[in-house]
Structure 1
Amino acid sequence: MLVLGVLRRAHRTPLRFDVLRLPSVTSRGLRVRQNAQISVSGLRLESTKPKPSSPASSQLPPPQFAYPERLCVYHAGTGRITFLACLKISTLFIFVFFGFVVTPAYFEKEGLSPTVLRTTLSAVIPLLFVAYTTSPFVSFVHMRIPPFARQSEDMLRRFVRKLPPDTELDVTSMSFIAKPRASRVKLSDLRPVSRRLGIVNLARDTAAENATRKWYMFRAVADFSAQPSSNTVRRAPWVWESIVDTIKKQQV
């Protein structure tokens, strides 16, 4: 009987251990399954989630143009511009020297004499002559062109062939002290003329623009000297010739 009891106990103990280990094994299996399901669902979510667009792909490259927005159609030449600027400044120095140094010195010694008159004229005449002949001188002319005309030379030629009247031109001239002075005009405002011994070949009406300016501001430039033969532009020099021809046709 004792032997049978011992044998029975020996057979029952492994079963108890197996029964005790069963919950832990099943819990581990459930955890593994849950982790596998979570990882699979995460992979599915990551795969189905739309990828954000990169900044390089969202930003398209800017279109390439053959010509800039402000095309230089007239250039008087670097040498000519430099010479006239130096001439204007030199004339101012001559006016200051003869008008405020030499003339007062002779006036103190001789009073109102022919020498005083000559020194005064030596100061005033060069200043007036240079101002009269060089004030309409044009250094640069830039034309604003639309995007479609900037794509190629063929498109630019088509645009220039039939220029609209509201085409804007930025005309840069010289002020009294050789400072650049820009004037924005429309093509329809210009007309061909012959003034100041043939120096001025283009003009416009500035009455309305001067009416809006203050009394202390300079008057708008009305006369321009931009001869087609003086153009030194190497890139598309035919544009300025077409502009001058269009202005002549408007006058007719």
Structure 2
Amino acid sequence: MYYCFFLASKHYVMHFMYGAFCRAASSAPKPSSLRWGTTAAIHLRNLRSVLLPTCPLISRNAAPFRRASTEATRARQQAVLYPERINVYRAGTSATLSVGLARVATIVIFLAGATVYAPAFFFSPDHSSLWIPVFIAAAAVPFFVTALATGPMIHAIRLYLPSSARRSKDDLKRFANQTPAETLLELQYMRWLPWPETRRVPFGRLRRLQPSLRGGIANLEQQNPHVPDKMKNTLLGWLAHRNWGRFYVNRAQRRDRSAVPGVWEGMWNQIPLKGSKEDVLAQAKSKKVKAPVQMRGRSSTVKDGKSAN
């Protein structure tokens, strides 16, 4: 009995589901070839819009453009041949090492005389203590003599080049023969310490000197127009200028050891001799502008009796 009821209910459910399915299938519109093609075109257009970004296309003739000039193209094609800072003078490795070793030797002599021999005479019962200052001064003599004699010696000179002088050798040669006054030079030298010092000097402030017994071996001087004459005429100003304002460049080199031979030679010929007609700073100091004579009740007068007004 229960088995028959189960079969009857199952048959009824299947008949209900099958009937609903058949009605839905019969009521749906039949697909046609035209509808399938339209649906496929819509899907293809949507897929293309997703994959390809939307951007307005401009034809080649309508696009704005500017022709590049021939000078700009030629400037881009020319490669930079020289760096911004280039060596134009070098004294040589042997000269630099000899000066450095001389500095070290004189420092060792001074330290030995001040810390070894002077205390030995102080504790010795056979010698007077008055010899201690003499030993210290004698030990310092080689140090000061070497520093004053070889202190102005320049070991290297580096030149700061503008972009117009770095493209070819002819441009660099033209710049060396007509060097502007504001061009920076980097001087490398040794004064009191056994390692090189560096100073940047404008090219227009350099003046040539004649080596003499009073002036020493220096043949190059740096002029500083901002220092007043009163300070230069004092003993302290003279010592400071002699120590830090004068240099020596070896002009008797057999071989030019710089990176660009011949550049420093052209620049050296442009440096005026101190006090000459080409020295602009000396000529400016020699010209003294006198104020016109002013008398009470009269206008200022000048030469030839003409009024200054």
Note whether the superposition's TM-score is higher than 0.5: yes
Letter matched to residue 218 of structure 2: V
Residues 87 and 258 in structure 2, CA contact (< 8 A), matched pair in contact too: no
Percent identity, please.
25
Matched residue of 1:247: which SS?
coil
Map Cα deviations across residues 169-203 of structure 1 (whole Å, 9 max, x no partner). 01111131122211111111110113464510101
Structure richer in helix, relative to its length: 1
Give the drift of 1:119: 3.2
Residues 188 and 199 in structure 2, CA contact (< 8 A), matched pair in contact too: yes
Map Cα deviations across residues 46-90 of structure 1 (whole Å, 9 max, x no partner). 68679xxxxxxxxxx996211111110011101110111111011
Give the drift of 1:37: 2.4
CA distance in 2, matches of 1:243, 1:154: 15
Aligned CA distance change for structure 1 residues 126 and 44 (closer, same or farther; 3 Å): closer
Q: 1:228 aligns with which of 247, 251, 261?
A: 251
1:31 maps to which residue? Answer: 39
1:1-252 equivalences under 5 Å are: 20-22=28-30, 28-41=36-49, 45=53, 64-109=79-124, 110-112=127-129, 116=132, 119-195=135-211, 197=213, 198-206=216-224, 208=226, 221-230=244-253, 232-248=256-272, 251=276, 252=278
Matched residue of 1:229: which SS?
coil
Letter matched to residue 204 of structure 1: Q
Output the aligned Cα RMSD. Answer: 3.4
CA distance in 2, matches of 1:39, 1:130: 88
- Give 5+ residue unaligned stretches, structure 2: 1-23, 59-75, 232-239, 279-309
Map Cα deviations across residues 114-138 of structure 1 (whole Å, 9 max, x no partner). x656633430210111111121111
Aligned CA distance change for structure 1 residues 103 and 196 (closer, same or farther; 3 Å): farther
Aligned CA distance change for structure 1 residues 49 and 167 (closer, same or farther; 3 Å): same
Residues 77 and 232 in structure 1, CA contact (< 8 A), matched pair in contact too: no
Residues 66 and 151 in structure 1, CA contact (< 8 A), matched pair in contact too: yes
CA distance in 2, matches of 1:20, 1:156: 90
Residues 228 and 240 in structure 1, CA contact (< 8 A), matched pair in contact too: no
Structure richer in strand, relative to its length: 1
Higher relative contact order (CA 8 A, sep 6+): 1
Residues 81 and 166 in structure 2, CA contact (< 8 A), matched pair in contact too: yes
Moved more, 194-203 or 39-48: 39-48
* TM-score (norm. length: structure 1): 0.73
CA distance in 2, matches of 1:73, 1:146: 15
CA distance in 1, matches of 2:147, 2:246: 13
CA distance in 1, matches of 2:223, 2:170: 34
CA distance in 2, matches of 1:205, 1:249: 12
* TM-score (norm. length: structure 2): 0.60
Aligned CA distance change for structure 1 residues 26 and 92 (closer, same or farther; 3 Å): same
Number of aligned residues: 219
Aligned CA distance change for structure 1 residues 28 and 19 (closer, same or farther; 3 Å): farther
